[in-house]
Structure 1
Amino acid sequence: MTSPPVVWFVVPKGIDDPARVSGGNVYDREVRDGLRERGWTVSIVECADGAGVASALRSASDGTLVLIDGLAAGWAAPEVEAAAGRLRIAVLAHMLVAAFPDATEPEIEAERRMLRHAHRVIVTGRWTGEEVARRGLADADRITVARPGVRGADAPEPEHDAALLCVGVVAPHKGQDLLLDALDRVPTKDWRCTIAGSTDSYRGYAERIAQRAAAFDGRVRLPGVLVGEALAAAYRRSALLVAPSRVESAGMAIADARARGIPVVGTAVGGIPDTVVGGGAILVRPDDPDALAHALTSWMTDPVLRERLRAEACRAREHLPTWDDTVATIADVLEAA
């Protein structure tokens, strides 16, 4: 009788912690659960730092198949490099560190080392895969795209055509400051905006966003992390998702909005254009609050535009990947490794 396939999945500590909600954590959980449903034995190894990753790799016996989250792998790049000679290592790269403008040379070098020595590299979007190959971090034949999946969700019942939602960690690369700059330029004042996400990672930035939001007389709401029914309710109440990112591999919030048929206004950066293929979106130049304000104003004032984008977004729901698709792709990569 054939034994079930076994993989060690090395992830950052706290992927099930509601206070640490992120697109990467959601993706990791879906992969873990999906592989188990397909009959895999998945041993989760949660690590808080490079020492934990190094210890996990040292304790794995020769030949062990290891799937390691790119964030965790970057914490211990020398250990990943050293272990590649005796373990079968696949790296799951949610994002490319080198694409961030504030990335340091040690961080970029760590990413370079761990990707070059991985036997397989799984990326969450076409743009990330092309960037990894273009930068010479991995050969194209070692890179596989496994796009985030979606789950079926109810169509929205927005409170108002100008009910806006922005979901993601409150951080400079997510561009919440650009959104507030744009909203300040929108001539109509009957909009409402919810900015949901963790404020723990970039506390100084998050405090500045909260201070600026307070100047909008209650029209900007910052509820922090939303999970489960609270997050689902936020989507149901919203007419438009805004994704003002400066850097983005794909955007889990965009995928969630697409699953519900909610149109998107976002920046044309990274993997966002791929995520909104099929229509239902307006893309603007990154780091340009005037362009974002123009797009938001058009949405709020042009009913014909709103109806077109809603119709396109609803049609696009039929062609989105499911999490079963995502997990099947990753299972194939791991079996090949």
Structure 2
Amino acid sequence: MITATFAIPGDLATPTGGYRYDREVLARASAHGVEFDHLALPGSFPFPTPDELLRTAGLFVSHPADRVLMVDGLAYGALPESICLSAKSPIVALVHHPLALESGLAAETAVRLKASEAAALVHARRIIVTSRITGRILIEEYAVPADRITVAEPGTAPAPRAIGSGRSEPTILTVGAISARKGYDVLVAALARLQGEAWRLVIAGATDRAPEVHAALREAIRHHGLEARITLTGAISDAEIEDLYAQADLFVMPSRYEGYGMVLAEAMARGLPIITTTGGAAAETVPDGAAVKVPPDDALALSAALSRLIQSPRMRADLAARSFEAGRALPGWDDTARIVASVVAGLATGAPSHFHHPGSPR
């Protein structure tokens, strides 16, 4: 058994796709020959204070030189190059999506994060990305050599097929913490154009990550008079999320950008008809034909797609069948952990890794 370290900023129990990925890898990698120790980094990344950077530098310097150090990209991309250079350990960077592509950043902040991440990635011996498109972005925009990149897509747990709401008004579900990147403002604007049609919307996700975005979303719902038709659940349990998936009639993801879009995979696993934007990896996570795809930030296109599916149970059923078929081909979490473990083991032993080039097929 190879022992390695997985450095992750913040609370590992945070209910986001990135933290779910990290938890699953920590729990499953030992079955594939790598035992990870969890190294907790400050939770303020990617915007750490000077004191937190000093603490992180100390952790990196004192880490055993003969043990692989895997670092979650939420922290790694924000590290000064001096800290990356101070680590004696071979580093694996896990990039969920480039930090500079987060929506809502000031232009100068995005430029600074891109420069920081590009400099840090030079010092990572191997880089794991969670989608092929993220790999291509690192090659084309961050000058990362393709042979240092391995794609390990998130797994999807098996799930029962959705049964639907049984209501005459379709229940539309979207899942994810409220933030600028998720595009819920665009979704509300799209649905505001459909007030004469029958629908209800459930937005399931934490509301405390970006308080100003949450406040603006509530104001938009109030402005359009949609308080009775749109529910914001806040943070809820896994069991409650399962119930929402089971009783949904239509899944929509209005994100401006996704590094993979784990909720899309979860919707496919349950055979839900899907409308998604083409922001980031979302366009590739769901195969063509298994979802209606619209450009990000296009409320008119999203509204038109929603209207077609709200009004046509037959279209929803046809799309659901193709979605369910695609969901059956999704990788599981053991597949993800196996790929991650093989990269770490290859670096630890000096053996060649089996790379999955970002441009290669699944």
The TM-score range, normalised by the shorter chain, is: over 0.9
Shift of 1:80: 4.4
- 1:187/1:297 contact within 8 Å kept: no
State the distance in 2 between where 1:112 and 1:152 align.
36
| 1:129 aligns to 2:135 (yes or no) | yes
Out of 155, 173, 185, the position equivalent to 2:181 is 173
Structure 1 ranges of 4+ moved more than 4 A: none
Aligned to 2:215: 207
Counterpart of 1:142 in structure 2 is 148
Q: Distance in 2 between matches of 1:8 and 1:274?
A: 31
Matched, 1:220 2:222: no
Partner of 2:193: 185
- Overall identity of the aligned pairs, in %: 32
From 82, 86, 89, the counterpart of 2:85: 82
Show structure 2 runs of 5+ residues with no match: 43-47, 348-362
Q: Distance in 1 between matches of 2:268 and 2:32?
A: 26
Partner SS, residue 345 of structure 2: helix
Equivalent position to 1:252, from 249, 262, 278: 262
The match for 2:23 is 29
Q: Distance in 2 between matches of 1:119 and 1:13?
A: 24
Q: What amino acid is aligned across from residue 284 of structure 1 in structure 2?
A: V
Write the distance in 2 (CA, Å) between the matches of 1:118 and 1:240. 41
Q: What is the aligned-residue RMSD (CA, Å)?
A: 1.7
Taking structure 1 as the reference length, what is the TM-score of the superposition?
Answer: 0.93
Distance (Å, rounded) in 2 between the aligned partners of 1:154 and 1:41: 31
Query: The residue matched to 1:262 in structure 2 has which SS?
Result: coil
What is the alpha-carbon distance in structure 2 between the residues aligned to residue 137 and residue 201 of structure 1? Answer: 32
Post-superposition Cα deviations, 1:127-165, rounded to whole Å, max 9, x if no partner, equal: 100000001341110011101110111111211462111
Instruction: Identify if the C-alpha distance between structure 1 residues 77 and 31 changes in structure 2 by more than 3 Å, giving closer, same or farther.
Output: farther
Aligned-partner Cα distance in 2 for 1:249–1:27: 12
Q: Give the counterpart letter for 2:23 in structure 1.
A: R
**CA deviation vs aligned residue, 1:79-123 (integer Å, no higher than 9, x gap):** 442135x21100000011233452432222211111121101100
Cα deviations by residue, 1:178-201 (Å, 9 ceiling, x for unpaired):
000000012544211111112222
Q: Report deviation, 1:39.
A: 4.3
CA distance in 1, matches of 2:65, 2:302: 52
Secondary structure class of the residue paired with 1:295? helix
Aligned twin of 1:229? 239
1:43 matched residue in structure 2: 37
2:332 to 322, 326, 329: 322
Letter in 2 for 1:148: P
The residue type equivalent to 2:245 in the other structure is Y
**Cα deviation 1:64-88 (Å, max 9, x = unaligned):** 201100011133232442135x211
SS at match of 2:318: helix
Cα offset for 1:21? 1.1
Alignment counterpart, residue 97 of structure 1, candidates 90, 96, 99: 99
Question: Under a length normalisation based on structure 2, what TM-score does the superposition of the two structures give?
Answer: 0.87
Give yes or no for contact 2:57–2:86 (8 Å, CA) kept in 1: no
Residue 354 of structure 2: aligned partner: none
Aligned match for 2:250, one of 240, 250, 257: 240
Structure 1 residue 120 corresponds to structure 2 residue 117: no
Contact 1:53-1:73 at 8 Å conserved across structures: no
Distance 1:328 1:13 in 2: 25
Moved more, 143-152 or 275-284: 275-284
2:10 corresponds in structure 1 to: 13
Structure 2 Cα separation of the partners of residues 238 and 80 of structure 1: 47
Q: Given the alignment of the two structures, is residue 56 of structure 1 paired with residue 56 of structure 2, yes or no?
A: no
| 3-state DSSP of counterpart to 1:299 | helix
Amino acid at match of 1:61: P
- 1:278 Cα deviation after fit: 5.7
Q: Distance in 2 between matches of 1:30 and 1:327?
A: 7
Among 144, 156, 162, the alignment partner of 1:156 is 162
Matched position secondary structure for 1:331: helix
1:309 Cα deviation from its structure 2 partner: 0.1
- In the aligned structure 1, how far is the partner of 2:156 from the partner of 2:121? 27
Are the counterparts in 2 of residues 57 and 83 from structure 1 also a CA contact under 8 Å? yes
Q: Deviations over 1:5-40 (max 9, x none)?
A: 011000012112xxx311100000011001133343
Distance in 1 between the 2:265 and 2:302 partners?
Answer: 20
- Is this contact kept in 1: 2:6–2:36, CA < 8 A? yes
Q: CA deviation at 1:207?
A: 0.9
Deviation at 1:216? 0.6
